[in-house]
Amino acid sequence: MKVVVTGGAGRVGRALGRRGGAHEIVALARPALDIRDAGDVGRALDEHAPAVVINAAAYTAVDRAQSDREEAFAVNESGAGHVARACETRQIPMIHLSTDHVFDGTATRPYREDDAVAPRSVYGQSKAAGEEAVRAAGGTVVRTSWLFGEGDRGFVPSIAARLRAGDQVRAVADQHGCPTWVDDLADALLALAAVGDIPDVLHYCGEGPTTWHGLAVAIASAIGVDPSRITAIRSDEWAAPAPRPAYAVLDTERVRGLGIAPVPWHRGLLTILLAEGRTRGVGPLA
């Protein structure tokens, strides 16, 4: 199966390239494909004639989006809409990647696909608008959360590096979500692409809710560092420009019904920490 992936240089795009297996993955990054340009999108689809399109292109700078609203919406709403409508015209199935940030975080049980969205940040608002555009054109939205992967600059590698350097670490303990190894997400997206007729909204994330503090403790335990070096703090002590949902655990029963079971996030965490440990010459994992 030939799959065109937008945002090919991002961590989801790279993961899809790694996990493609028997599929032909055409990962297109800017400037090869700028989803903000509807004409560019159409030309790319006509050139490559894919069986499925996975839109992994996104503006993901959550805090910067607060002051960069126009660009966030240009990519996450307009760009997603361009891809969706181009796929609709050509009758190509499309899967669009979205986020837990479309919810306000006030729930007391895992968010289901049909729960009302109420984003609190500009980033979340732009992604919610993109979901509407995709669904209106017949595409499928897959929401995920707390992505991490080998070689990225996110939470997992930064916490691991600081702990290995002997630093004290602070981590937010009042935000709840499900970490997701990007390679597991890539496997799930490709499995969904092969299913064919799928619902218009699905959730996929790593198995098992935790907090950022809980994730940091898991990192410390994996690399053999005393977890007491991690201090639990409240969100207001971190004071990030963009508000995050306090509770963003996603219900995954719908995707399980398609035979795609979320994987415990600890597996991916150990995999990438082991890989980084080998390349950086640090001691063995616990």
Q: Which amino acid is at 100?
A: D
186-191 long-range contacts (CB < 8 A, ≥24 apart) are 186/12, 186/15, 186/16, 186/18, 186/19, 187/19, 188/142, 188/255, 188/260, 188/262, 189/12, 189/16, 189/54, 189/95, 189/97, 189/142, 190/3, 190/16, 190/19, 190/20, 190/21, 190/23, 191/259, 191/260
CA 227 to CA 241: how far, in whole Å? 28
Q: Which amino acid is at 281?
A: G
Helix (H) or strand (E) holding 202: strand 201-203
CA 53 to CA 121: how far, in whole Å? 27
Contact between 83 and 138 (Cβ < 8 Å): no
Catalytic residue list: 123
Helix (H) or strand (E) holding 88: helix 80-90
CA 107 to CA 102: how far, in whole Å? 13
CA distances from 197 to 83, 185, 227 (A): 19, 19, 45
Peptide bond into 31 cis (omega under 30): yes
Backbone φ and ψ for 2, nearest 5 degrees, come out as -90, 125
CA 221 to CA 227: how far, in whole Å? 7
Region of 277 on the Ramachandran plot (φ > 0 left; ψ -120 to 50 alpha; else beta): alpha
